[in-house]
A = this chain, B = another copy of it.
Amino acid sequence: MHATSSRHPFDEAIALETIGEDRWRGSTHPDYRNMVGPYGGITAAVALAAVLAHPQCQGDPVAQTVHFAAPVADGPFEMHARPIRTNRSSQHWLVEMRQGEVIPVFGTAVTALERDTWEATDVIFPQVPPASALASLDTNVLPLPWIQRYDMRFVRGMIGQDPDPAHPSESLLWVRDEPPRPLDFIALASLCDVFFPRLYLRRPRRVPIGTVTLTTYFHASEAMLAQVGDAHVLGIARGLHYGKGFFDQRAEIWSPEGKLLASSTQLVYFKE
């Protein structure tokens, strides 16, 4: 059914129907299914879409935190979003996904009016070959529908490759929506979760894992996103620490010209 639609599957997956001032109805999308329930990035995208759909929303996203509190069941859900505080140039948001009595997902966001200020970047854009020089990951190898919704071209750090000894959990890859789609804040929110769990780079053993909480800061402006268009962006991810059944990983997303679009961090549950 979805394949015959003229809309991009990403736009279908984040589509929300208004059912009240602070409430929307949506549905999980088969194209973004993960091992259990939907890909975390598409859930983050839906949460951000609810904020941006709110009639009182001012400005663009600058921060988002998403808690994956319980499994999201395949099928319909309600999104609730409301501003907790509106300042002169920024707004703080609370968002919930509800499925019956369960709140499988909740989180926060900050939106802000774009202001022209001093700019600098302290992190270094790495020297990498362009996306056009690299082969796309064969997504058919992995039986997860969402992976086929991204074109991933690994510079290094694919699961199963020999790791860089100095950075044993680092991945560098060019990535974009598949089929191509112009980048916006909602797609950027989803992209920040595109990195495979660092644990699988460090240990060949496959154990159940699941993101517990994901935080993204949006450095991109509307103009920067328009400049990227539907080109590949460069993603970098690194693990920090594994223990007590959790690990954390940090990521950055860069434009092809070396502008930092977003920084992100997440804490992931692992079984043992």
Binding site for B on A (CB under 8 A): 62-63, 65, 67, 69-70, 84-85, 87, 89-90, 92, 94, 102-104, 106-108, 110, 112, 114-123, 167-169, 198, 202-203, 212-213, 215, 217, 219, 221, 238-246, 248, 250, 252, 260, 263, 265, 267, 269-272
Q: Which partner residue on chain B sits nearest A242 by CB separation?
A: B120
For the complex formed, measure the closest distance between the CB of A1 and the CB atoms of chain B, giving whole angstroms. Answer: 32
Residues from chain B with a CB closer than 8 A to the CB of A110 are 67, 212-213, 267
How many angstroms from the CA of A106 to the CA of B109 in the assembled complex? Answer: 11
**A245 lies within 8 A of B106 (CB):** no
User: In the assembled complex, how far is the CB of residue A272 from the closest CB belonging to chain B, in whole angstroms?
Assistant: 5
Complex Cα spacing A121 to B238, Å: 11
Q: How far is the CA of A252 from the CA of B239 in the complex (A)?
A: 13
C-alpha gap A122/B67 in the complex (Å): 24
Give Cα A250 to B246, complex, Å: 19
Q: Is the CB of A213 within 8 A of B108?
A: yes
On chain B, the residues within 8 Å of A102 by CB distance are 85
In the bound complex, residues from chain B placing their C-beta under 8 Å from that of A241 are 120-123, 219, 260, 263
- Among residues of B, the one whose C-beta sits closest to the C-beta of A199 is B118
Query: Chain B: which residue is nearest A246 at the CB level?
Result: B62
| Residues of chain B within 8 A of A123, CB atoms compared | 240-241
Closest chain B CB from A2 CB (angstroms)? 30
Complex contacts, A213 vs chain B, CB 8 Å: 63, 65, 108, 110, 215
Q: Is there an interface contact between A219 and B239, defined as CB atoms closer than 8 Å?
A: no
- How many copies make up the complex? 2
Q: Please give the distance in Å from A189's CB to the nearest CB on chain B.
A: 15
> Known: A65-B108, A65-B215, A70-B87. Is A118-B272 also a contact (CB below 8 A)?
yes
In the bound assembly, the distance between CA atoms of A121 and B122 in angstroms comes to 24
Q: Which residue of B lies closest to A106 (CB)?
A: B84
**Which residues from B are CB-within-8-Å of A260?**
240-241
Complex Cα distance, B122 from A202, in Å, reads: 9
> Which B residues lie within 8 Å of A250 (CB)?
250, 263, 265
| Contact status A242-B62, CB under 8 Å | no
- Answer whether A242 and B212 are a contact pair too, CB < 8 Å, given A69-B84, A108-B65, A265-B263: no
Q: Tell me whether A244 and B112 are in contact in the complex, defined as CB-CB below 8 angstroms, given that A212-B62, A213-B63 are known contacts.
A: yes
* Assembled-state Cα–Cα distance A238/B114 (Å): 24
* A156 to B: closest C-beta gap in Å: 15
The 8 Å CB contact of A106, one of B94, B215, B270, is: B94
Residues B242 and A119 in contact, CB atoms below 8 Å apart: yes
